[in-house]
Every structure is written in structure tokens, then in C-alpha cells.
Structure 1
Amino acid sequence: MKLFSYCTRYLPRSCLLICLLLFSAVLRADIWVIDVDGAIGPATADHMERSLDKAITAEASLVVLRIDTPGGLDMAMREMIKVILASPLPIVGYVSPSGARAASAGTYLLYATHLAAMAPGTNLGAATPVQLGGGSPGLPSMPGSDDAKDGKPEGESKENTGAAPPGDAMERKVVNDAVAYIRSLAQLRSRNGDWAERAVREGVSLSANDALEQGVIELVADSMENLLTQLDGRQVALDKKSVTLSTAGETVHYQSVDWRSEFLAVITNPNIAYILLMVGIYGLIIEFYNPGIGLPGIVGAASLLIAMYALQMLPISYAGMGLILLGIALMTAEAFAPSFGLMGISGAITFLTGSIMLMDTNLPAYQIALPMIIALTVFSIGLLVFALSMLVKARHRKVVTGTEHLIGTMATVGRVDGVNAWVWLEGELWHARSESPLQLNEQVRVTAIDGLTAVVSKPTEGEY
């Protein structure tokens, strides 16, 4: 405000007008480009949602989602689609550059946008839920096809088949839900719903030109400039009204990924979240066993909190988490109460099984690497079984530091003055107290240390 008052008071109006025009041109970009790059997850959804909010605040006229994704998590995808459907700005989905794809969850995103475009050499489709992929025999087929008979051989009557197996029923529910979802998006945007259903049920894909011919997309553009040229003058249905796009000569703002989204992408990487979880658990175990160090407890608590924040956004299996904790508990118990390896081996197997089960999804991008699991399992065995067992043995060793190690040692009476006596103890002259009178040069045993006084007693015969 002070800067604005200074400018209005001392600058000529012509200079002020020029400055305001330049300032508004810098602040305002009519077309925003937001990248949806890589596997769709919490970080991708967070970046897109916050970038779209910024575009709305900046009063942008159009948002372009530049898509290149192999798919991702269903929960993150649905959150992004909700934001797209509720957007007051027209949103164009653009699969770019050449060689990019909008597979699986990316197909749903493209169907949700107001206008869909693709660059030559790109593809979309393969929208079957990944958990049911891999040629599962229970996948339902398109109605009317030869194999749409509950997976039974041709000629076998339905009356004799009985109820479908529970696994098949669950698969059908998931696929039918996905079909209904993508069909509703196709109907909303007046696109080819039949092909969308095939993309879910059969996992089919389309190239850019084929997608244009079949009414899956509206445009094929080889560059952002060409896309904006083709968009100019097009009608878009927005909030039950028709909006004409004006993209010729408009400024374009490319919204980059900020530090928050990058940090979220790092910690929601399943391998990183898994490591943080282990660091947190081990740090707290070491701190609880040997309190006072501080550093393991601080690092462990911080790592565990970050891991919990990341894992609550990922599709984790609570059974897998429980097995991990049980495995750590068994290996810790082996260190404190050796059972000839029974609890240690059982804990290692339980820990390994829980780590494999931890991520409740078949998406490759959200799986914990098997070498990482094996390495941490071996490290856990070494830390919890061998290292902690060595610490336990060390705690049972004879004390060699402090005043405690003086208890039980032999001392020589070095001076007697009436009722007061002093003894030589490890080269030092200590004031001594005894229930019986002490004689000069007499050998005594230290039974306790009371401040700066050694409590001694005469040893019995044969105790020397």
C-alpha cells in the first residue's frame, strides 16, 4: 500500500498507467497449463487441485491439463475428477507430447474434461481396474459376446451353474462400478460411451487419430500453439450455459510443481514411506531401551509421524502393518529372551510377509521394491536380534565406571586417628566407616559408598 501511494503521488499518470498495465500483464495469464505427469497419486492430485484454485483466483479463461500418465490410484483419480467437474473454468485435457499416454486413470481424467485433445503418436485406454488385470478369468465381458456367460463353457446352462464364486462376484462389482463411472462421464461430455465401456471391460486402447474418428476426443493437435488455435471460437457447455473460447493471442502460464507437491511426492513414494516407518520404529525402540540419548527418539518420532501422514494417503493393508509390528516385536523379544532362534526366525518371516502385503494395490508405481524389503528384513534381524542382544549382555557385565565399581573391592587401612579411619582405595585416601574398630594396614572390603565415605567391613577367613 505504501508503494502504491508513493507511485500515485510522485509518478506521472502516464508512467503509472504503463506500470499498471505491465504489472497486470505479469500477474494475469489467461490460459493456465497444468501438468499431470507420472503415476497419479496424492501428490499429483494435490498439485492439480491447488493449481486449479490458483487459476480460478487469477481469473484465467481456460485451463489445459497436459496429461502423460500410466494410471494411478483410484482415490486420487476420483478426487481430481470431482475438482474438474466442479470447476467454474473450462478445462481441456491434452495428451501430450508425442509418445505420451492417458492410460487407466488417465482415460477417466480425459473423459471428465470439457474438451479432450491428443497429440499425434499418443494413446489412451486400458482402463480396467489394475487389481483385476492380468487376464483374470473372472472379468466380465461385453454384453452379447460369446464369453459373457459367467465364465462357464459354452452349452452349460445357468440353472446348473449355481452362484458365482465370491471372487468373481467382487470382480464384477468393481468392473461394473468402473463402467458406470466412465459411462456417466461420457454422457456428461457427449463422448463415445460404448468404447469407454470396452476400455474398462476389455482393456482396449486407441491412438490419437482413431480416438478422433470414434468420438472419444474432439481434437488432434501436434503442439500447444496448434491446440490453442483450434480451440479458438469453440463452444463449451459450462454451468448449463454455452461459453465461447477465445484463445488466439492469449498469454499462457505454465504452472510448475512447487516444493509442497514435490515433498508430498517424495514421502508418498511407497519405498520412502516404508523406510521412514522403519526408522521411526527403530528409533523409538532404541530410545526406550536406552533413554537419555535423545537423538534416536527425536528422529524416530519425526520419521514415524511423517510416515503415518504418507501412509494414510496410500492404499495400505492394515493386516500387513500388523504383521510388520508383530515381526518387530518377536525379533525384539528374541534379543531380550533368547529362544534358540525360534522367535527371531518367526519374527523375520512375519516381518517379510507383512512388508510384501503392506501396499494393498497391484499398481507397479505403488509397490515396495522387493530388494528393499529383503534388505530391511536383514537389517532388522541384525539390529533387533544381534545388536540388542549385545546391549543386554553389556548391561549384565560388571560395572567398571563410577563409584559403583568400587563396591566389593579390597582396601588397606592407611590411617587411624581415634574413632576416625582412612583407607587406601585405588590409590586414593578415602574416609572410612566400619562397625568394628580398624587397625593400621588392615585389609577391609568396601560394602557401600556414602558420599565421600567408604563403608567397609572386615572380610571373613578365606574371603581374600
Structure 2
Amino acid sequence: MATRRWRLFFSFTFVILALLLIPLQTMVHSEREASGEELIYYIPVEQTVERGLEAFMARSFANAIEEGASHIILEMDTPGGAVDAAGNIALLIQETDIPVITYVKNKAISAGAYIALNTDEIVMAPGATMGSAAVIDGAGNAAEEKTQSYWLSEMRSAAELNGRDPQYALAMADNRIDLPELNAPEGELLTLTAQQAMQVGYAEAIASNRGELLEYLELENAVEIEMQVSFSEQIARFVTHPVVIPILLSIGSLGLVLELYSPGFGVPGIMGISALLLFFFGHMFAGFAGWESMILFVVGFLLIIVEIFVPGFGIFGLLGIGAIIGGCFSHLFRRLQ
């Protein structure tokens, strides 16, 4: 009886504290807003640009808007990445009313340069570079003419969005454009240094650190919040990497096919299931695969298990592999939408 009373007491106390924290949090925000204190959100844009980064940035922007941030600063160091992810990130920036500033800490190459051009201001660290934004296919070759034309128009639009001369953005994506005033090597894609970016109006300032950046923005007394990539988001970023996706799908499909022709359930099946679970988990967490994909995967897995333990002349196994492949296609269809 006494134990039950203590449980009720602690439960009641927990509920009361939770209710008290809500107005307390609101009061803290209200005090900050009343005092005129500005809030800055730092969002890291690092490593390869892929769908996992897109999901992380969407969460970060949502947090910044909810908390009433006055500025969002993208701390950038990326060699580029997927065109579709870069396009969605650019749309996220364009639809945000909060001023967005890119701080290029080291590199803003390819998709990174495109994302930076969509922001309101660009500040670069000494020695940082930005450019070299040609679009290539999965084999590393120049993309087809239709894709190139689309990408050039996107680079032009991104530059014009904030009043920047588009010829330099086009030169980043097309090596046929000659810019003698920058002494750029002929036949190479344009990559701007911090000083060159200042010269052509592609950077508003050069700052060695956050202190100098905030001094330029006149935000020395602002409250600073730094977004962190969660463990789950790190996994999602890894499995949505353009190089990792085909590897996981290959291991998954080969493992399941080998398992069908092996007695019992062994290493190939474990490897196949693990690879596909990683694939589906990463894409579900990033928001690019729905429950229909996971349901098809589970159904396919169960059918393969039935084939292993209840021989059905391969029918259950084929249906299982078909369901799993259907889950993959369902995911790809969701991405195209």
C-alpha cells in the first residue's frame, strides 16, 4: 500500500513539474524578446550534401523558426554532393523569412557553392574557396546536355536571387566561360578564393572566426545556439550517401538470393537483411521512405523465411524478393514526387 502511495506521489510530482516547465520556458523566451536580445542559430553544412543533410537542415530551420531566431548561419565545409538534395535545401532557404548567412570555413564546392548563392550573405574565412560546380553523373562523367542546361539555369537563378553577377556562377559550372579579369586558367571551372569572391561581389566580408563574423553582422551580444547532428541523423546521412545507397542495395539483394540457394539461414541472409534494414531505416528517418516501404520489406522478409523452412518450389522466395524490390521502388517513387 505504501509503495503504491509513493508511486502516485512521484507521478503527481512529475506531472506538476512538467506543467510548470511550459510557462517557465515561455517566460524565458518572452524575457529574451522583451529585452531585444537576438538569437543566432549555427547550422553545420559539412561533408557530402545528401538527403540526410537535407533532413537535418529542415529540422534545424524548424527549430530556429520556433525559437524566434533572428539569423541563421550556415557554417560550410563541403565538397558538394547530390543535385536533388541541394535543390531542396535551396528551396528551404528561399522559403525562410529569417536572414540566412553562409560562413565558408574551408570549402563551398559544387552543390555547396549553389547552396551558398541562395543565402542572403556570404562570408568567407581567409584561405576558403568556393566554386567548381559542374554537374556529373554517378560514374564521374559530365552529365547529359539537358541536365547541364538545367543546372546552369539553376546557378544563374541562385546568383541573381541576391543581386550577384551571374556570369561568375555560370563560370563555376561551365569551363567554356573565360574570365580574364580573374586570371582564371582557361578551360577550367571557376573556383574563387576569399579575396576574389570579395572582388566580384560573391562575398560580403572575410572573417577568421565567429567573433569576427558576429562583429561584421553587428551581433556581438546575440545569444548563440549551435545545432548538432544526432546519432540517428548521422546514420541517416551515411546510408543516404550517393555512394553508399547502391552498395547497400547490392549487398542486400545478393545476400537474399544466395540465402535462397543455401540450406538453413546463415551469413548471406544476415548480411542481406542487415544491409536492407540500414537502407530503409536511414531513408525512413530522413523522411524519404514511408511505412509502405517498410511493410513491403517485412512482408518480403517473412516470405523468404517461409521459403527457407517450408519449401515451396521457390514461389515464396521469389514473392519475398519481389516485395523487397517493390519496397525499394516505392521509396524511389516517393523521392521522385
TM-score, structure 1 normalization: 0.48
Higher strand share: 1
User: Any idea what SS the aligned residue of 2:97 has?
Assistant: coil
Match of 1:303 among 275, 291, 314: 275
Are residue 210 (structure 1) and residue 193 (structure 2) matched?
no
Q: For residues 178 and 299 of structure 1, do their structure 2 counterparts lie closer, same or farther at Cα, with a shift above 3 Å needed?
A: closer
Matches within 5 A, 1:362-441: none
Match of 1:130 among 116, 131, 136: 136
Amino acid corresponding to residue 281 of structure 1 in structure 2: S
Paired residue for 1:2? 16
Paired residue for 2:8? none
Q: For residues 114 and 5 of structure 1, do their structure 2 counterparts lie closer, same or farther at Cα, with a shift above 3 Å needed?
A: closer
User: Any idea what SS the aligned residue of 2:260 has?
Assistant: helix
- Does the Cα contact within 8 Å between 2:235 and 2:282 map onto a contact in 1? no
Paired residue for 2:118? 112
Paired residue for 1:60? 69
Matches within 5 A, 1:46-445: 46-96=55-105, 100-131=106-137, 170-171=144-145, 173-202=146-175, 203-232=189-218, 247-269=219-241, 272-285=244-257, 287-289=259-261, 293=265, 297=269, 300-307=272-279
Aligned sequence identity (%): 29
**Alpha-carbon shift at residue 182 of structure 1 (Å):** 1.6
Match of 2:39 among 30, 44, 52: 30
- Does the Cα contact within 8 Å between 1:273 and 1:310 map onto a contact in 2? no
Q: For residues 311 and 227 of structure 1, do their structure 2 counterparts lie closer, same or farther at Cα, with a shift above 3 Å needed?
A: closer
- Does the Cα contact within 8 Å between 2:211 and 2:220 map onto a contact in 1? no
**Alpha-carbon shift at residue 109 of structure 1 (Å):** 0.9
Count of residue correspondences: 254
**Alpha-carbon shift at residue 75 of structure 1 (Å):** 0.8
- Does the Cα contact within 8 Å between 1:280 and 1:301 map onto a contact in 2? yes
- Does the Cα contact within 8 Å between 2:126 and 2:194 map onto a contact in 1? yes
Amino acid corresponding to residue 229 of structure 2 in structure 1: V
Q: Decide which moves more: 265-274 or 29-38.
A: 265-274
Q: Could you give the per-residue CA deviations for residues 213-266 of structure 1, whole angstroms, max 9, x where no partner exists? A: 21112122121111111112xxxxxxxxxxxxxx23011111111122201122
- Does the Cα contact within 8 Å between 1:29 and 1:58 map onto a contact in 2? no
Flag the structure with larger Rg.
1
User: Any idea what SS the aligned residue of 2:127 has?
Assistant: coil
User: Any idea what SS the aligned residue of 1:127 has?
Assistant: coil
- Does the Cα contact within 8 Å between 2:47 and 2:78 map onto a contact in 1? yes
Unaligned runs of 5+ in 2: 1-14, 176-188, 287-337
Amino acid corresponding to residue 131 of structure 2 in structure 1: G
User: Any idea what SS the aligned residue of 1:130 has?
Assistant: coil
Paired residue for 1:364? none
Amino acid corresponding to residue 127 of structure 1 in structure 2: A
**Alpha-carbon shift at residue 30 of structure 1 (Å):** 0.8
CA distance in 2 between counterparts of 1:6 and 1:94 reads 39
User: Any idea what SS the aligned residue of 2:169 has?
Assistant: helix
TM-score, structure 2 normalization: 0.64
CA distance in 2 between counterparts of 1:193 and 1:103 reads 17
Q: For residues 196 and 133 of structure 1, do their structure 2 counterparts lie closer, same or farther at Cα, with a shift above 3 Å needed?
A: farther
CA distance in 2 between counterparts of 1:21 and 1:50 reads 22
User: Any idea what SS the aligned residue of 2:275 has?
Assistant: helix
- Does the Cα contact within 8 Å between 2:256 and 2:272 map onto a contact in 1? yes
Higher helix share: 2
Q: Could you give the per-residue CA deviations for residues 70-113 of structure 1, whole angstroms, max 9, x where no partner exists? A: 111111110100100001211001101xxx11111111111100
Q: Could you give the per-residue CA deviations for residues 37-59 of structure 1, whole angstroms, max 9, x where no partner exists? A: 11211222222121111111111
Q: For residues 5 and 224 of structure 1, do their structure 2 counterparts lie closer, same or farther at Cα, with a shift above 3 Å needed?
A: closer
Higher relative contact order (CA 8 A, sep 6+): 2
